[in-house]
Amino acid sequence: MNKPLKLRGNDSEDVAIIASCLQESVGKIGNMIYQPKRRSFYCLLNRFAWERRNETDEGAVENVGCLLYFHCVLGAHRRKLDKLERDDSLCLLTLYFHESVPPGGMVRMLFANEGEICLDVEALDVYLLDVGRPWSSIVKPDDALLNMEAWQS
C-alpha cells in the first residue's frame, strides 16, 4: 500500500514535480482560498494518483483528495475566472514558478478553461499533501477534460 503523498517545494524544479502530480486534477472554485493576513493560499483538489497507477490494468484509475498550500503569498490574482460560482469545478493543467527577485516571484496555476490564478510570493514555499483515502474512479485522466460534469459530485 502506498503512503499518502507529502511534498514540499522551494524552487522551480520542485514546482515542476508537484505540477506533474497535479496534472488534470479537479477542484471547486470555492475551495481555492487566499488569506492575506496569513499570507497563504489554499486549494483543495482531487488528483489522479499517477504514482499508484497499475500498468497491467489500463482501466484502473485512483483518485485522492489533496491540499495544495502556498505560504509567503503577497497577493493573489485570477484571470478568466470571474464568472464562476463557488461550486463550479476547474481542471488544473499545470503550475509553474517565475522567479523575479530571488527568492520571490510569481506562481501561475493554469486551468483548462484558459483561466489562471497568479500568486505573488515573497519566497516560494509550497506543500502538496494527500488527505483522505484514495478511491477508484470511472473517469480516466484523458476523459477529465472532456467530461467535467463527472467531477461535479
Answer whether residue 151 shows pLDDT above 50: no
Place of cell 497535479: 22
- Side chain identity at 130, as an amino acid letter? D
**How far is residue 46's CA from residue 43's CA, in Å, rounded to a whole number?**
10
Mean pLDDT value across the chain: 88
pLDDT for the residue 20: 95
If DSSP codes are grouped into helix, strand and coil, which group holds residue 81? Answer: coil
Q: What is the pLDDT of residue 113?
A: 86
CA proximity to 74, closest of 34, 108, 46, 44: 34
pLDDT over 50 at 82, yes or no:
yes
On whether the pTM is more than 0.95, the answer is: no
Question: Going along 80-137, which residue ranges are E strands?
Answer: 89-99, 105-111, 116-136
Grid coordinates given for 141? 485522466
pLDDT digits (tens, 9 = 90+) for 93-138: 999 999 998 999 999 999 998 999 999 999 999 999 999 999 987 6
Distance CA 120, CA 22 (A): 20
State how far the Cα of 78 lies from the Cα of 29, in Å rounded to an integer.
Answer: 11
pLDDT band at 55 (very low <50, low <70, confident <90, very high): low
Confidence of residue 148 (pLDDT cuts 50, 70, 90): very low
